Amino acid sequence: MLEISRRSALQIAAFAVAASSIRPAQAEDSAILPSWADGEAKAGIMDFVAATTTEGSSDFVEPAARIAVFDNDGTLWGEQPMYVQLAFALDRVKQLAPQHPEWQTTEPFKSVLAGDMAGVAASGERGLLELVAATHAGVSAEEFEKIVSDWIASARHPASGKPYTAHIFQPMVELIDYLKTNQFEVFIVSGGGVEFMRPWTERVYGIPPENVVGSSIKTKYELRDGVPAIMRLPEVDFIDDGPGKPAGINKFIGRRPIAAFGNSDGDFEMLEWTTAGPGRRFGLLVHHDDAERENAYDRQSHFGRLARGLDEASARSWTVVSIKNDWKIVYPE
């Protein structure tokens, strides 16, 4: 109770000084967002939260409308040298290959089995969709959940040798917790597969499966030996990327967010739609510019390309976070 009261007092003080264009006092309080360096990015986040949660503020937002959405790949955890779900799909191809001798001569499966990533990339979006359809379907939802859970527990990042879940971004996990403490409802809105993320997001981020929106394949209800099951079909149902993100938010959440967090041009429309709404809004892009502690990439990357977002962030009053300068640490210690 003492800590909650202290935070409330800090938020009120922050709003008061913001009104006179002085940097909020909380920006120097290391107890809040401790992995964030003091600076404009951290101060901007705290200023926004103080303004929207302080009763009497002209920017006050009722708790029910405090919706915040986060991209996953590249925003909450690493996405290099490839999306984690793609690594999962590649492993599934190798595991299932004995049941599919035709894959030895059929692209993109032939390239996967030969370890030819250039060949996989050359297959384009069509090839990637074929990989997902072949490796994510043909089982029940419950079976797929176990397959994903077992894989995420055992798979290792090719560079660090650590579990992929060790590559979550500590500053962003703190930000999720900070928003939840201030009565924000937090959702993941990702281009990744919704049923690939749901088995582990609550354990890793504290975000329950019902608060995860993502791409999906079609399913159907059927009885298997008299037992009800939701079966996964080899057909794409919804792509939650680019303009699909605001459409997915509208369809599955039903409220326009007041804050959106991403890292790539695939998140552009989500930030654009969020910040175009009435009242106080907040948009943030994570810029991967730290080659020493994480990775440095943006405009030329095959994964997490960020070009338009960098070009237009300033004019749209979006915060661009430098991993190199704004984060004291990157991964959980």
99 or 133: which leads in pLDDT: 99
Share of the chain above pLDDT 70, in %: 91
Is there a single domain that holds both residue 248 and residue 238? Answer: yes
Is there a single domain that holds both residue 183 and residue 109? Answer: no
pLDDT given at position 314: 98
CB within 8 Å of 219: residues ≥ 6 apart: 141, 230, 231, 232, 233, 237
- Predicted TM-score (pTM) of this structure: 0.89
The count of structural domains within the chain is 3
pLDDT given at position 219: 97
The stretch 19-44 carries a mean pLDDT of 73
CB within 8 Å of 135: residues ≥ 6 apart: 88, 89, 92, 93, 96
> DSSP E strands: which ranges in the chain?
67-70, 185-193, 212-224, 227-238, 259-262, 282-287, 319-322
CB within 8 Å of 152: residues ≥ 6 apart: 163, 164, 165, 199, 200
160 inside domain: no
Is there a single domain that holds both residue 50 and residue 108? Answer: no
22 inside domain: yes
CB within 8 Å of 223: residues ≥ 6 apart: 229
Is there a single domain that holds both residue 94 and residue 140? Answer: yes
Is there a single domain that holds both residue 235 and residue 297? Answer: yes
pLDDT in tens, 284-326: 999 999 999 999 999 999 899 999 999 999 999 999 999 999 9
The DSSP string of 162-226 is SBGGGGB-HHHHHHHHHHHHTT-EEEEEEEEEHHHHTTTHHHHHS--GGGEEEEEEEEEEEEETT
Q: Which of 3-7, 58-62, 245-249, 295-299 has the lowest mean pLDDT?
A: 3-7
175 or 134: which leads in pLDDT: 175
175 inside domain: yes
333 inside domain: no
Mean pLDDT of all residues belonging to the chain = 91
Share of the chain above pLDDT 90, in %: 84
Output the six-digit token pair for 206.
Answer: 């504290």
